[in-house]
């Protein structure tokens, strides 16, 4: 860590170096400034009365008694906010036939999930607002809830939204042709029905927003715990009719996000509206119970899938049916169909076969919305594919690792295209598998497993390859009509003292965005890292950009910073050349000094800046001293920068209790050029832990009436330190040639295949019992049922 520069290292060579995060010291001192912490003059607090029913008509709202309670400033219903906020609809144009009902901050007419905010109460303190909420009388008339995914699709089923005609949000099919014939004549066919529970992000800081509308200037400032401030600037502007330039969104320190904090939430839109109605700053911080019933959930898929192989164990085709339930609305603006779309398109992605058929049904029901959460769709595609590969290996009499060696796309076969339409530039599945086997001592573990089985100890080994989508181009949201930028922008400038500031549109949620941008700028410009200050998360300060999601920070944000820094360096050298009466191609910038061709220090960057800012009279006439550069970069070439990797999981199953101990987990992943291994490794580990959470613990449980029954952190299990293993990480680096930097994403990798590897490991452990499981989370009760013990 913070390894000193070796004698052979060029000064300022920071790309690829493990350095710690400058901004982490502040967080370690308890001086983080989260939206949760912020206080503004005259600030008031919002609380919400929520629907106790999954589906109910709102007959009447009586807020008279509540209005007179201490501290109460405003009570607003759906109708009050509908007058100032344009409704939104969560569809994308390129998802043909997709539909969803329009949404408002608070519902008018009926509530469509248990926990939906129905009435907003604003008071001087949150406690007063909650007191008053208890005095608001809402008469609900219960309607039959739509819960079950099969019943929801029956003709004549009760509907979540009457006006939509049925409960189908989106339906898609992929078919390369001839699938029925292929499966009928295949040497072996394996099939399974998989169930993936709903789970949710559980960011440790819940959602938080502080909106401040100033009517005299028609200005809206929103401090918002979000990944995507520019997206919200655009949305607040358009839905509340405020000029975009008058809307400022600030995302300060964010206590975890994982994709959950980039969606439009009803309470957030309500808070902006409440601030407009009151002309005062209004704050809302979800408590944990509110988070469970109003943050997006994710997954909730039932996948019926089969795989055909020939007699030699070669995969020849897959046939997949995915039904996913998404709650009462499709989320805005990214929709709730992206996960299913990615499930059916990532299916089988690491493997070499050409025959594929898939059907996707995205179904409305009376639960909270599902949408994009870390590794969107990946864990489902990986678990289905990898479990079928293991089942096929068993049928063909092959070891799972050998089965993969035979079927993974060869490392020299790129570029190539998947049967689902994804184009891969260059991946490294074979190399990753070879590294994984060596790292985990695969053969040794198999030998140990055999010995221990004889002693009644049941260990399982699971491996799972994966492909990760990163760096989406405008070919995704842009084409779909969503105003979600695929480009990012940076302003890099030399200060009058010769230091450097980089204002960039990618955002920081703790993964180290600011650190890697600082490394890249310092490296490319030729200054010490300590001289570069990186500023993010404020629409009034940085250029417009997509910000941080889908692993864009390094690949797109990093490339933006690189190109901006190179442009600034060229400008610095032009000024230096004018001062030194030299040619720019004879000069370089190294460690904060202008050096000549033999490396002699000629002039400090601080002197260049001093002359440019204060003594431009001494420069030759016509010298352009442009020491501030703005640069935008949008990915071109491949529509996505796909990454890949493989994971291994080693578990021990107690067949008497159904408890599983995760002994060790391994990841080999290829995210292209690595900027900071220290940060990449821990981000991959964090991703693995979220994937293992889904595999063993995390599930939002609902009863038949659509009530969430485990919506607290005591009931909903997230992985704890004592349950998690040490996780060993290794890397293969296959840089993308679409950019100079060559970086791809790494944030989803851990989550993408951890649950798949765990599923295979547990099934492997159960082999002696002739038992299998195809549902996650693999709880002790489910495992005991699979084992026939209960």
Partner 1 sequence: MTITASVTLTINGEDVTREIEPRETLADFLRRDMQLTGTHTGCEMGVCGACLVLVDGKATHGCLVFAVQAEGSTVETIEGLSERGIIGDIQAAFHERNALQCGFCTPGMLVTAHSMLAPPGVPTREEIRDALSGNYCRCTGYEAIVDAIEAVARQRAGEEVAA
Instruction: Give CA separation, 672 vs 225, 374, 641, 734, 738, in Å.
Output: 30, 19, 9, 4, 11
Using the rule CB under 8 A, is 202 a contact of partner 1? yes
Q: Report the relative pairing of strands 315-325 and 297-309 from DSSP bridges.
A: antiparallel
Among 381, 568, 653, 678, binds partner 1 (CB under 8 A): 678
Judged by CB under 8 A, the chain residues 748 through 787 that form the site for partner 1 are 750
- Torsion angle of alpha carbons 340, 345, 349, 355, nearest 10°? 130
Among 80, 205, 268, 322, binds partner 1 (CB under 8 A): 205
Nearer to partner 1, 23 or 385 (CB): 23
Task: List alpha helices for 217-319, DSSP H.
Answer: 229-240, 266-278, 288-294
Whether residue 758 contacts residue 778, with contact meaning beta carbons closer than 8 Å, is answered with yes
3-state secondary structure 538-603: ECCCCCCCCCCCCCHHHHHHHHHHHHHHHHHHHHHHHHHHHHHCCCHHHCEEECCEEECCCCCEEE
Nearer to partner 1, 443 or 726 (CB): 726
Helix 266-278, helix 229-240: angle, nearest 10: 60
Whether residue 662 contacts residue 692, with contact meaning beta carbons closer than 8 Å, is answered with yes
- Cα 113 from chain centroid? 24
Among 234, 253, 322, 559, binds partner 1 (CB under 8 A): 253
Nearer to partner 1, 29 or 454 (CB): 29
Hunting for tokens 């020849």 — which residue is that? 316
Nearer to partner 1, 77 or 676 (CB): 676
- What tokens were used for 420? 């689902």
Task: Tell me what percent of the chain is helix, strand and coil, each rounded to the nearest 5.
Answer: 30, 25, 45
Judged by CB under 8 A, the chain residues 679 through 698 that form the site for partner 1 are 679, 682-690
Among 164, 174, 475, 724, binds partner 1 (CB under 8 A): 724
Using the rule CB under 8 A, is 712 a contact of partner 1? yes
Using the rule CB under 8 A, is 84 a contact of partner 1? no
Nearest approach in angstroms of CB 642 to partner 1 is 23
Using the rule CB under 8 A, is 722 a contact of partner 1? yes
Using the rule CB under 8 A, is 726 a contact of partner 1? yes
Among 105, 145, 197, 206, binds partner 1 (CB under 8 A): 206
Nearest approach in angstroms of CB 572 to partner 1 is 32
Residue 367 makes CB contacts below 8 A (sequence gap 6+) with 54, 113, 114, 147, 198, 297, 325, 327, 328, 702, 706, 708
Judged by CB under 8 A, the chain residues 529 through 568 that form the site for partner 1 are none
Phi–psi pair at 188, nearest 5 degrees? -140, 145
Among 713, 772, 780, 785, binds partner 1 (CB under 8 A): 713
Judged by CB under 8 A, the chain residues 12 through 41 that form the site for partner 1 are 20-21, 24-25, 27-34, 36-37
Instruction: Give CA separation, 178 vs 353, 357, 360, 373, 749, in Å.
Output: 14, 9, 19, 35, 33
Whether residue 39 contacts residue 100, with contact meaning beta carbons closer than 8 Å, is answered with no
Using the rule CB under 8 A, is 648 a contact of partner 1? no
Nearer to partner 1, 226 or 571 (CB): 226
Using the rule CB under 8 A, is 124 a contact of partner 1? no
Nearer to partner 1, 124 or 166 (CB): 124
Nearest approach in angstroms of CB 617 to partner 1 is 46
Judged by CB under 8 A, the chain residues 493 through 532 that form the site for partner 1 are 509-512
Nearer to partner 1, 694 or 786 (CB): 694
Using the rule CB under 8 A, is 107 a contact of partner 1? no
Using the rule CB under 8 A, is 439 a contact of partner 1? no
Q: Which residues of 515-551 are buried (b: 16+ CB within 10 A; e: fewer)?
A: bbbbbbbbbbbbbebebbebebbbbeebbbbbbbbbb
Using the rule CB under 8 A, is 258 a contact of partner 1? yes
Nearer to partner 1, 260 or 486 (CB): 260
Report the interface residues with partner 1, using CB under 8 A: 1-2, 20-21, 24-25, 27-34, 36-37, 70, 127-128, 131, 201-206, 253-258, 287-288, 509-512, 678-679, 682-690, 712-714, 718, 720-724, 726-727, 750
């Amino acid at each position: 860590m913070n390894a000193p520069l070796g004698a052979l290292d060029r000064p300022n060579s920071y790309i690829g170096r493990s350095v710690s995060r400058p901004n982490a010291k502040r967080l370690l001192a308890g001086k983080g400034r989260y939206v949760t912490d912020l206080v503004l003059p005259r600030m008031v607090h919002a609380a919400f009365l929520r629907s106790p029913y999954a589906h109910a008509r709102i007959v009447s709202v009586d807020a008279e008694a509540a209005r007179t309670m201490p501290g109460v400033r405003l009570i607003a219903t759906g109708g009050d906010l509908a007058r100032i906020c344009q409704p939104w609809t969560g569809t994308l144009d390129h998802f043909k036939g997709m539909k969803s009902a329009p949404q408002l901050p608070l519902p008018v007419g009926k509530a469509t999930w248990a926990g939906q905010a129905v009435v907003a109460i604003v008071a001087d303190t949150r406690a007063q607002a909650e007191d008053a909420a208890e005095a608001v009388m809402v008469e609900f008339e219960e309607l039959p809830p739509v819960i079950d995914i099969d019943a929801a699709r029956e003709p004549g089923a009760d509907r979540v939204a009457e006006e939509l005609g049925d409960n189908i949000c989106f339906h898609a099919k992929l078919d390369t042709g001839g699938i029925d014939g292929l499966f009928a004549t295949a040497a072996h066919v394996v099939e399974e029905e998989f169930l993936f529970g709903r789970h949710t992000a559980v960011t440790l800081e819940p959602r938080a927003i502080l909106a401040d509308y100033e009517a005299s200037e028609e200005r809206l400032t929103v401090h918002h715990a979000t990944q995507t401030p520019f997206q919200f600037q655009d949305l607040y502007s358009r839905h509340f009719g405020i000029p975009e330039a008058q809307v400022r969104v600030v995302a300060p320190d964010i206590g975890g996000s994982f994709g959950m904090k980039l969606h439009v939430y009803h309470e957030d839109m309500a808070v902006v509206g409440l601030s407009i109605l009151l002309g005062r700053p209004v704050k809302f911080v979800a408590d944990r119970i509110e988070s469970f019933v109003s943050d997006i959930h994710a997954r909730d898929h039932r996948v019926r899938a089969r795989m055909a192989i020939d007699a030699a164990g070669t995969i020849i085709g897959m046939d997949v049916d995915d039904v996913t339930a998404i709650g009462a609305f499709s989320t805005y603006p990214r929709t709730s169909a992206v996960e299913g779309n990615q499930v059916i398109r990532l299916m089988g992605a690491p493997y070499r076969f050409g025959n594929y058929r898939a059907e996707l049904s995205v179904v409305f029901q009376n639960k909270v919305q599902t949408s994009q959460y870390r590794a969107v769709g990946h864990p489902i595609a990986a678990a289905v594919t990898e479990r079928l590969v293991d089942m096929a290996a068993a049928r063909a009499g092959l070891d799972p690792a050998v089965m993969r060696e035979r079927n993974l796309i060869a490392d020299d076969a790129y570029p190539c295209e998947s049967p689902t339409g994804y184009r891969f530039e260059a991946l490294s599945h074979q190399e990753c598998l070879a590294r994984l086997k060596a790292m985990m001592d695969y053969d040794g573990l198999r030998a140990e497993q055999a010995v221990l089985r004889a002693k009644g100890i049941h260990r399982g080994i699971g491996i799972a390859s994966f492909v990760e989508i990163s760096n989406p181009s405008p070919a995704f949201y842009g084409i779909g009509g969503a105003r979600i930028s695929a480009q990012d922008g940076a302003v890099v400038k030399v200060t009058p003292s010769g230091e450097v500031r980089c204002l960039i549109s990618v955002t920081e949620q703790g993964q180290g965005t600011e650190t890697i941008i600082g490394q890249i700028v310092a490296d490319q410009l030729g200054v010490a890292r300590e001289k570069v200050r990186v500023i993010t998360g404020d629409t009034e300060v940085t250029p417009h950009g997509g910000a941080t999601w889908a692993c864009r920070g390094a690949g797109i944000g990093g490339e933006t910073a690189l190109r901006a820094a190179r442009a600034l360096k060229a400008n610095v050298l032009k000024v230096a050349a004018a001062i030194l009466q030299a040619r720019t191609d004879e000069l370089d910038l190294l460690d904060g000094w202008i050096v000549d061709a033999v490396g002699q220090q000629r002039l400090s960057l601080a002197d260049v800046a001093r002359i440019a800012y204060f003594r431009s009279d001494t420069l030759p006439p016509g010298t352009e001293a442009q020491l501030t550069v703005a640069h935008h970069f949008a990915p071109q070439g491949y529509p996505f920068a796909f990454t890949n990797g493989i994971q291994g999981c080693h578990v021990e199953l107690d067949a008497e209790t159904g408890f599983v101990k995760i002994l060790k987990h391994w990841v080999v992943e290829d995210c292209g050029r690595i900027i900071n291994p220290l940060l990449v490794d821990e981000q991959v580990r964090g991703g693995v832990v979220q994937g293992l959470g889904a595999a063993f613990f995390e599930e939002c449980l609902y009863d038949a009436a659509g009530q969430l029954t485990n919506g607290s952190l005591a009931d909903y299990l997230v992985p704890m330190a004592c349950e998690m293993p040490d996780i060993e990480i290794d890397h293969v680096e296959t840089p993308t040639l679409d950019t100079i930097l060559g970086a791809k994403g790494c944030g989803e990798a851990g989550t993408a295949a951890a649950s798949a590897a765990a599923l295979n490991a547990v099934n492997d452990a159960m082999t002696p019992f002739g038992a299998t499981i195809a549902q996650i989370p693999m709880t002790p009760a489910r495992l005991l049922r699979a084992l026939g013990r209960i």
